[in-house]
Structure 1
Amino acid sequence: MYNIRCVLLLWLFVNPLLLVAQSAKTPVAASPLQSGPMVGYSDMREVMLWAQTNRPARVQISYHEAGKATPAYLTNEVQTNQKAAFTAHLLANQVEPGKKYEYDLLIEGRKVSLPYPTQFQTQNLWQWRTDPPAFHFAVGSCTYVNEEGTDRPGKPYGGGYEIFTTLAAQKPDFMIWTGDNTYTREVDWNSRTGVLKRYTHTRSLPEMQPLLASAHNYAIWDDHDYGPDDSDRSYWLKSVTLDAFKLFWANPNYIFPEGCTGTFFWNDCQFFLLDDRTFRAPDKMADGPGKAYFGDKQLQWLLDALTFSKASFKFIVTGGQIVNPAKIFENYAVYGTEREKLFKAITDAKIPGVLFITGDRHHSILHKLDRSGTYPLYDLTISPLTSSPAPALAEEVKQASYVDGTLVNDRNFGILSVSGPLKDRLLNIKVYDQKGAERWSRDIRASELQ
């Protein structure tokens, strides 16, 4: 009996040590979260959220009104899979207008602990009740994330990722990504595997995650997230990149089966998200009626939608510069016949409140095109976020349309604010560099665009 007791006591003492030693050799399982969560579109009755895992997993989101732990609601549950790049679109449809919500990401039924706020909001039901609420939103384009082995040799093309931390600190209601939101490379252009890998690589940038998790996100594309540099309607894999775009973004609608054209509202403003690649003729084609940029089908929808819209400001969002008259690079001026057709149609239909928001050029600048007998057309170019900056050409800043003092040749982003009573809405534009220093500010009243 004595010997048995000694053996038992020895086992009880040694066994925990063995367990500790064994656990020290066992690696901790990597987190199943690849990127996100991201807040997508917002409306009064529903909000779309998004997340990506790195392996098959059950994903869901629990949410509740801010400051109230109960009642809590659940989105649909999604089983992520490799075909869809392990992405999940999660619909929060038990919400009320004009509320703020906090949420938790659940993977395999377990809460994922995140070191930053996760929140979203629904839009306000202000019509026939009050003046529209004030709001502010962020704008940026050209996000290059370096990857050793696939980048071009030499100085890294991307950098300054802390700009997303600076941007998130502004706490915008939403963010508009105006194209080149990822940069596909030679290793990506010819395969679905490559395209999905590139989208995943960019979306996984750690500095980007807090912004994605707390500001609503809307996007269009330009050449680099669509295909190769300067790509047009001839790109052979555009159906694959469109699928990737829809997997990785959470826009509210797509007007056509092909392309990323869409629209959304925020209070009294409407945003028209245009696709400048899917229908685009080659740049080198001779200008004329057959040289499409947006193409007849997209242009007709745009003009119909602008005519119908009662928005105070009608923001047309697209990748390349529209107002800049310099016939260089991929500016709309290179497609002069279609450009004049669009401008004439806006004038003839007496459509008020139109402004353009663009990207692409790796510098920020404001152009203002004066038009006889009607209001001027503004084009706000905001670029780049993390790609290498490129200065405007001398001939561009000599154009009559250039608004003096608005050229920024550093990495930067824009914060646009809309405020004031419905009959006197004010748009304020501020441009900040990657460290958060304000570079310039301008006001435009809706009454000036009548």
Structure 2
Amino acid sequence: MSSVDRRQFLGLAAAALAGCAAPGAGQGERELVRIGIGSCTNQAQPQPLWNTVLADRPGLFIFGGDNVYAPQPFTIAKLKQAYAVEAAVPEFARLRHAMPHMAIWDDHDYGKNDGGAEFEHKQASKEAFLEFWGAPADDTRRTREGIYDARLFGPPGRRVQVIALDTRWFRSPWKITDVRDQPGRERYQPDSDPAKTMLGAAQWRWLEEQLRQPADLRLLVSGVQVVTEGHGWERWGNFPLERQRLFDTIARTRAEGVVLLSGDRHIGAIYREAQGAPYPMYELTSSGVTHTWLDNKEAGPNRVGDPFTELHYGLVEIDWPGRRVSLQLKDIRGEARRTQSIAFDELKART
């Protein structure tokens, strides 16, 4: 990247970040009622959906990965230019000015399609990520591997914990399918090798510590889908031992109120899985800020209803007096097209 391009990147990123809450800000006693999430934003495409999010005014927005698409073959200059283009999108800039937010990455802002621990440019990509999202100099993500993060919002009795996982930096290689493009095994197949990892040892230890903190609702954010069955693309189910380890960690820490949020797939959907879990695991997948998989017809054995294939974002709405949470997929008109209501009591371990 030339000095001119670098100044452009820094200037546009700084302009878009002006007035935004820095990582860690907005925690404490500020009660959350509405949390938005969206993923898959191509910086070169129109982004009118941000106006819908702005109109709904969530108290927190989670950028769920693929927040830009780094052109291939990858160079750090191309990634930074993608960030600069995105920062200059007026709707996106207004949203970042308007509300506190958190961000994780997925493969396209990580820098390698379906990439994991093997990606040779991940350190440079991480530095660009932290720079773009305005991480302060003392942010703990600058001194450890990966970009995982967690924050607490709200007073006791109405406390939300957001745990943002990094499912790229440490992840072992997937097992390639033996029947490419066949339904259920399109690219990858389940791999029960006990040496394979999704999060890496350090992040697993950190996650257990986070789950032991007091919270009434926990939003566990993963770039790739967690409980989803029925397809052979990227998902935690490709490492079934790791997915079971996640369920077992939730059970061992007695962490109540866990709801899963994910992106990546260019569809919106809601899932429910109880097998092997301490209580039903609900997952809201929101993936399609600028483009979606319009003709998706994949199987969904643990999906609740049909996938939603129009542009959308996800909304978590909390009814604190009623002790319920609603998972929603909202279209560009702001209409909820898929909804699942969950009682807090359902998100407790069975005795």
TM over 0.5: yes
**For the structure 1 residues 391 and 280, does the alpha-carbon distance in structure 2 shift closer, same or farther, using more than 3 Å as the test?**
farther
1:351 to partner: Cα distance: 2.4
Match in the other structure for 2:67: 181
Residue 266 (structure 2) pairs with residue 368 (structure 1): no
Q: Give the secondary structure class of the aligned counterpart of 2:239.
A: helix
Which amino acid letter does the alignment assign opposite residue 118 of structure 2? S
Q: Give the secondary structure class of the aligned counterpart of 1:416.
A: strand
CA distance in 2, matches of 1:174, 1:329: 29
Contact map agreement 2:222 2:261 (CA 8 A) in 1: yes
1:292 to partner: Cα distance: 1.3
**For the structure 1 residues 380 and 373, does the alpha-carbon distance in structure 2 shift closer, same or farther, using more than 3 Å as the test?**
closer
Residue among 202, 205, 209 paired with 1:297: 202
Provide TM-score, normalisation by structure 2.
0.83
Residue among 238, 249, 254 paired with 1:350: 254
Match in the other structure for 1:408: 308
Q: Give the secondary structure class of the aligned counterpart of 2:256.
A: coil
Match in the other structure for 2:104: 220
Gaps of 5+ in 1: 1-29, 48-121, 127-132, 147-157
1:176 to partner: Cα distance: 0.2
1:200 to partner: Cα distance: 1.0
Contact map agreement 1:366 1:381 (CA 8 A) in 2: yes
Match in the other structure for 1:269: 160
Match in the other structure for 2:222: 318
Residue among 114, 118, 122 paired with 1:230: 114
Q: Which moved more, 1:289-298 or 1:369-378?
A: 369-378
CA distance in 2, matches of 1:231, 1:376: 30
Contact map agreement 2:27 2:152 (CA 8 A) in 1: no
Contact map agreement 1:134 1:420 (CA 8 A) in 2: no
1:367 to partner: Cα distance: 0.7
Alpha-carbon deviations, 1:298-339, whole Å to 9, x = none? 112112220x22111111111000011335111111111211
Provide TM-score, normalisation by structure 1.
0.65
Residue 144 (structure 2) pairs with residue 260 (structure 1): no
Contact map agreement 1:359 1:381 (CA 8 A) in 2: yes
1:184 to partner: Cα distance: 0.2
**For the structure 1 residues 42 and 244, does the alpha-carbon distance in structure 2 shift closer, same or farther, using more than 3 Å as the test?**
closer
Contact map agreement 2:262 2:283 (CA 8 A) in 1: yes
Match in the other structure for 1:24: none
Q: Map of 1:125-136 to 2, 5 A cutoff?
A: 125=29, 133=31, 135-136=33-34
CA distance in 1, matches of 2:218, 2:275: 18
Residue among 203, 206, 213 paired with 2:87: 203
Match in the other structure for 1:145: 43
Q: Map of 1:40-119 to 2, 5 A cutoff?
A: 40-41=21-22, 47=25
Contact map agreement 1:254 1:260 (CA 8 A) in 2: no
Contact map agreement 2:56 2:334 (CA 8 A) in 1: no
1:207 to partner: Cα distance: 2.1
Match in the other structure for 1:334: 238
Contact map agreement 1:254 1:261 (CA 8 A) in 2: no
Residue among 162, 169, 172 paired with 1:278: 169
CA distance in 2, matches of 1:223, 1:319: 8
CA distance in 2, matches of 1:388, 1:365: 12
CA distance in 1, matches of 2:244, 2:227: 10
CA distance in 1, matches of 2:106, 2:95: 21
Q: Give the secondary structure class of the aligned counterpart of 1:209.
A: helix
**For the structure 1 residues 123 and 272, does the alpha-carbon distance in structure 2 shift closer, same or farther, using more than 3 Å as the test?**
closer
Which amino acid letter does the alignment assign opposite residue 272 of structure 1? I
> Percent of pairs identical after alignment?
27
Match in the other structure for 1:434: 332
Alpha-carbon deviations, 1:56-88, whole Å to 9, x = none? xxxxxxxxxxxxxxxxxxxxxxxxxxxxxxxxx
Match in the other structure for 1:383: 287
Contact map agreement 2:34 2:316 (CA 8 A) in 1: yes
CA distance in 2, matches of 1:408, 1:380: 11
Alpha-carbon deviations, 1:212-255, whole Å to 9, x = none? 11111110000000012111111111011100010011458445
1:144 to partner: Cα distance: 0.5
CA distance in 1, matches of 2:253, 2:320: 27
Gaps of 5+ in 2: 1-7, 177-190
Residue 57 (structure 2) pairs with residue 171 (structure 1): yes
CA distance in 2, matches of 1:179, 1:197: 17
Alpha-carbon deviations, 1:340-364, whole Å to 9, x = none? 2221232344321111100000001
Q: CA RMSD in A?
A: 2.4
Contact map agreement 1:219 1:251 (CA 8 A) in 2: no
Q: Which has the higher strand share?
A: 1
Match in the other structure for 2:4: none
**For the structure 1 residues 282 and 226, does the alpha-carbon distance in structure 2 shift closer, same or farther, using more than 3 Å as the test?**
same
Residue 130 (structure 2) pairs with residue 246 (structure 1): yes
